[in-house]
Structure 1
Amino acid sequence: MSYRSTVARQPESLADTLAAAKTELAGMDLTPLASGVTVVTGIGASYAAAVVVAAELQRRGQRAFAVRSGEMMAGYDIADVVIALSHRGRSVETVEALRKLPKAKSLAITNDPESPLAKAAKYHIRLNNGSDATPSSTGYTATLLAAGLAVDAIYGESGTDWASLAAKTTEVQSHAAEKMPRLAEQFRNRRAIDCVGAGAAIGTADGASLLIREAARLAASGYETRHYLHGPMESMDASTGVVVFGDTRELPLAQNLDAIGCPTLLVTSSTAIQDTGKLTVVNVPASDNLILRGVIDIFTAQLLAAELSDAAGLTDVKFRYKQTDTKILDQAA
């Protein structure tokens, strides 16, 4: 399927994953994962998702942090619990991370219960997102949804209305789509695009920058909001663009960028500022649950990546660089 079509079918993908994950969790006791230091790990887009999940664990008072799977391959005993994210469950680095920490209690979230990662973990939750494309859309959001359900199962219900996510997805995608003609005009031909957010939105910013790199082959990077104020934003001007996620310090940051003529997209639940000059605002529903908010925030970035891909003449173009050592092949599983 095409990238745009997989982005569009996320209401169905998320509804299917919700049903599948809830069924599995009903017969599973994850409370042994509730104690100790927790690492959430993944590689590529799965690492971006790991940052979102770790932030929600911290919000809930847990000692948790995200670590790239490649950094765990040395096998240092850094965690009591590992939550491993990989859409297909075949990322070499993430599988090796679990194998190198055999004493840690582990949960894998993949779309294949027979995958190497699922078999390496003590517990497994299956995604049911259907087909995905490059860049990943349904795989990323379904992974976050399943992780959110798992966190509730481990630490107790958060009161999050996961059942309403599919309807919210349709609403947010529709609202964001209305802004895409303006964004396509302002963001085309950028020499670089930065993506910025704080807390869980650091992961969202990282995921957004990866989407832009993969879909449009534009130089894009993710930054934490406060770090961004201490120098990195100085290189941004009318020839670049910035995507900002957040509701607090991110608002004046977006206005600062607009003031110097830098095209800026602000994804926020705040209604304090609106479109002006080079600033485009996409309003999204607020959520105390940072994983739910992470799912909601990425939709606008997915659509922007599609616009930039089309503008660059790269619609659904495959990756140029073929890697031979990043996935465990079926015959070696």
Structure 2
Amino acid sequence: MRFADGRARQFGPLGHVAGELPTRLAGLTGPWRAASGWICTGIGASAAVADAVADRLRRNGVAAVSLPPGDAPGLAATVGWPVLLVSQSGRSTELLATVEALPTGRGLALTNAADPPLAAVAAEAVDVGGLADSRASTVGFAALLLAGHLFADWCTGSPPGRGWAAEVAAIPAAAVAFGDRLAGTVTDAPGTVTVGPGTVTDAAGWAALDVVADPDWLAAAEYGTLMIREVGRIRAGALETRRYLHGPMESAPGGLTVLVGGDRLDRVADQLAAGPAPAPVLRWSVTMSGGRTAVHVPDSGLPPLLLDSAALGPLAGQLLVGYGLQEIAQRVAARRGVDPDEFVYDQDDTKLRTPDAPAAPPAPLSTIDERKSN
């Protein structure tokens, strides 16, 4: 599946996942809901999902941390918590090694792929159905992000899926509306990319890109900057707002800065605009209040986009922020002449190849890409 096609299709399966996953979770037999805390882990785009799940668990009153795979076994042995292993393909060698190092019965796998190798070695596993995905993950990321939030609610005794159907069904239209707002602030005009009221350096000349996000949206920022690195092939990093203020902001000139969050980032935008080397800025105001998520792109000239999110919580905004950063990744790739569906470096030791897998990558429209999905 091409990256552009994945972007267009990524929200379509969410209703099915929201409807089916509660039944799959109910079929788990391990003592997962009795856990006093959780360690969440993943790699690549799945690491961003793990971060979001840990955040949702904490919001629900359960202690949770997100760690790199290699750090999970040590903490699990010390505190006695189970480990949620998030993986797109269920074949990541790092996660398979993590399961082997865990105390018996402590690993629960959450994957896109159905019946992957990770499911065979974890204590139990649940999947979202083996959805076709692009090489730089789009469909799979959105589905696993939703599944992770459902899992976190299930862990704390909330009926997973309650109130979710209508809110999930509104996401595709919201993404289109958000795209309309982005169209007014990032364009493909030859020679320049329009950002806000002025024009800035051609995207092909950007040395780097920072995404600064409030905690609610940080997982989406982490995912989005991975897409920008993979698809656009420029350096990109995600930073939480307060951490950005303690030094990283000093290196802003030379690249685009995307500011995602509440009012404190308005001041950051003003400072960057008035700096000695004014830096191009995209400002996305994304806030939650009273069961609604408001997404506003001030320079678009369009009114704020309001989404009901009493059930989804930050998930609604996370999906849209990820979508917006995919748009930037695709635009940067186009301006730099980069094929978004090809990577420069292939690795032969990051995925366990199944014995019956063909030597060449399988058909991209029908299977999860063997080379890069996480």
Q: Tell me which interval the TM-score lies in, with the shorter structure as reference length.
A: 0.7 to 0.9
Instruction: Give the partner amino acid of 1:325.
Output: D
Shift of 1:148: 1.3
CA shift in 2, pair 1:274/1:328, >3 Å: closer
Q: C-alpha displacement at 1:91, in angstroms?
A: 0.6
Aligned to 2:235: 219
Deviations 1:48-79 (A, max 9, x none): 11111111111122111100113347787255
Which of 192, 195, 209 is equivalent to 2:208? 192
**Runs of at least 4 residues off by over 6 Å:** 73-76, 279-282
CA distance in 2, matches of 1:201, 1:65: 17
How many Å separate the matches in 2 of 1:169 and 1:22? Answer: 20
- 243-252 or 119-128: bigger deviation: 243-252
Residues 98/267 of structure 1: CA separation in 2 closer, same or farther (3 Å cut):
farther
Identity %: 29
| Aligned residue among 299, 312, 316 for 2:323 | 299
- Distance of aligned partners of 1:294 and 1:272 in 2 relative to their CA distance in 1, 3 Å threshold: closer
Instruction: Please give the per-residue CA displacement for 1:163-187, whole angstroms capped at 9, x wherever unaligned.
Output: 1344332123212222235313236
CA 1:254/1:33 → structure 2, altered by over 3 Å: closer, same or farther? Answer: farther
1:200–1:42 Cα change, 3 Å: farther
Work out whether 1:245 is the aligned partner of 2:260. Answer: yes
Is contact 1:90–1:116 with CA below 8 Å preserved after alignment?
Answer: yes
Is 147-156 or 20-29 further displaced after alignment?
Answer: 20-29
Query: Could you tell me whether the CA contact under 8 Å between 2:175 and 2:323 is conserved in 1?
Result: yes
Contact 2:77 2:103 in 1 (8 A): no
**Which residue in the other structure is 1:254 paired with?**
269
Q: Tell me, in whole angstroms, the C-alpha distance in 2 between the residues paired with 1:177 and 1:93.
A: 36
Quote the residue 1:4 is aligned against. Answer: 4
More deviation in 211-220 or 119-128?
A: 119-128
Equivalent position SS for 2:355: helix
2:44 is matched with which residue? 44
Consecutive unaligned residues of structure 2, counting only runs of 5 or more, are 188-192, 196-202, 288-293, 358-374
Deviation at 1:80, TM superposition (A): 1.2
Of stretches 157-166 and 119-128 in structure 1, the one that deviates more from structure 2 is 157-166
* Cα root mean square deviation, aligned: 2.9
TM-score (norm 2): 0.79
Higher helix share: 1
Q: Which moved more, 1:252-261 or 1:102-111?
A: 252-261
Structure with higher Rg: it is 2
CA separation of 1:103 and 1:291: change in aligned 2, threshold 3 A:
farther
Q: What is the CA–CA distance in structure 1 between the aligned matches of 2:356 and 2:101, rounded to whole Å? A: 19
Q: TM-score, normalised by structure 1?
A: 0.88
Q: Tell me, which stretches of 5 or more residues in structure 1 are unaligned?
A: none
Deviation, 1:47, is 0.7
For the residue of structure 2 that corresponds to 1:182, the secondary structure is coil
Q: Are 2:111 and 2:144, in contact at CA under 8 Å, matched by a contact in 1? A: yes
CA 1:228–1:114: 2 relative to 1, 3 Å: same
Q: 1:36 touches 1:81 (CA, 8 Å); kept in 2?
A: no
Aligned counterpart, 2:345: 321
Aligned to 2:281: 264
For the 8 Å contact 2:284–2:297, the answer to whether it is kept is: no
Matched length: 331
- AA in 2 matched with 1:16: H
Query: In the alignment, what sits opposite 2:370?
Result: none
Matches within 5 A, 1:1-80: 1-28=1-28, 32-72=32-72, 77-78=77-78, 79-80=80-81
Distance 1:292 1:68, change over 3 A: farther
Question: Which of the residues 329, 336, 346 maps onto 1:312?
Answer: 336
